[in-house]
Chain A
Amino acid sequence: MNHSISLTVNGARRDFVLDDPRVTLLDLLRERLHLTGTKKGCDRGQCGACTILVDGKRINSCLALAISHDGADILTIEGVARGDQLHPVQAAFIAHDGFQCGFCTPGQIMSAIGMMQEAQAGNDPERIRECLSGNLCRCGAYAGIVDAVLEAQAGIDETNQRRSA
């Protein structure tokens, strides 16, 4: 039996006919839309490489059935830059060497963007580490990742201060 769903992916509406309900959001993004920035690491919700934002919240796309997310608004790593202008978190990862091999990086960046929107960690490195514990980096670039997030958070704090001044 075929199922029709529609999603908004990086701002554009996309319609799909699913001939198999087993398709995850991760596989839909990678195989149907060829948005391969979202990585398949463990495929079991343990590594965070597949992190995307669904309706503004970070989740593991490997443990989400596409068919169950009919109508969802999805943001992937391909959708965070504005043209040639990198997202501040992307720029901070480059500035602080927040990666080595780069495989976990899209998930790390999406998780960091989601975390900053959740506004639970602020500029506390301990809370940042805890709030990013769902993203593994086998190269061990954690120190650079935390520095990158701290810088991006400082940029947001500065912008907010300017706005309220």
Chain B
Amino acid sequence: MTQDLRYSALKKTPFHSRTSMASRTNKYYNWNGYTVPTEYSTTELEYTAARNGTSVMDLTPMGKYEITGDHAHRFVDYLVTRDLSEMKDNTVAYIIWCNEDGKVIDDGTIFKFSSTKFMLCCAVKIYNWLNDSAYGFDVSISDVTDTIAALAIQGPTSCSTLKKFGAEDLEKLKPFEMREYKIDGFDILISRTGFTGDLGYELWTDPKNAEATWDNIEIAGKELKLRPFGMHALEMTRIEAGFIQTNTDFMAAEDSLRPTRMRSPYEIGMGWLVHLNKNSYFVGKKALKKEKEESTTERCLVGLDIDGDKPAHGSVIYNSKKEDIGIVTAALWSPIMKKNIALASLKRPYGIKIKENIFAEIYHPEELEYRKIWARCKVVKRQFFNPERRNKIPADLYE
């Protein structure tokens, strides 16, 4: 499905006819060159759908790359910091990848169909990086962003919605597993993955099947509190889940103008994805090993529980001597937890050894004047929200 893009800046996704019909506010933004809704009606209600019913989001603009060939498995394992040598077919893994200096380029998910076929999904464009890195491997890489329509179906009733849509036995699918379905004559891949930190799935299909899929899911979810949700609501849920966003919580190494803004995995709370003891070499291994051995990590990305109810958007964080020790990268009043939370990039030892007596300077807008609030913060686990239902097998059903 190629669109004539002469004189136009943004592409439409295969769901556009449906997403634009569902939008009552006509608020759109540019995601990876596509126009998608920031909000359909009210962000709070869309957020609620993700925590109470089923939320549906057009995920098509997400960067999608197919990696095929005899060396596909070896190449993927070489590309990322995580040890994927034992990765099973029909599973998905959360990954990050770095440049040679051990600075993070992006995070994403890798889907393994077989040892010769993978799909990588991520936020930024990395077609060139993949091709450069593939030198010497027998693989071919194609950008399939335009040729796969994708939806995120997330929330406590999402399994029931998809079952009603035709995904039999879906409740048995474990987190980070995927399964191919044939529904109404089309191939649909469903993975138990997502960006909301809740029970949820992602659905991948042919763009030709997009509109029918949207319509049928809407029908299936009619009694299951289904609602389309936009980027603003997604942002709320991902902060609660403690997921990081490239170029929001850290600068992608490929995008950073200033070398000092680049971050190692250890600086953004992704140390657990770096497997220095994996047998084969991976991009950035040397630098990361050195950083780990010499303990030269400068920063950390932590969760903050902040006093009061005013979100600390962009706040500078101080120690008790009023010295600048970091910055808030994402902030939110969490509707479900009734807590004022934030993700913050702090200079070590703050956030690691020193977790109390730190303060956020919040500028709260009040009718063209700002009220300055000095709010006490506590360093907490970045994963603020992690309900039991998220990883439950079989998944919760509403019948």
Decide whether A and B are members of one complex: no
- A residues near B (Cβ < 8 Å) are none
- B residues near A (Cβ < 8 Å) are none
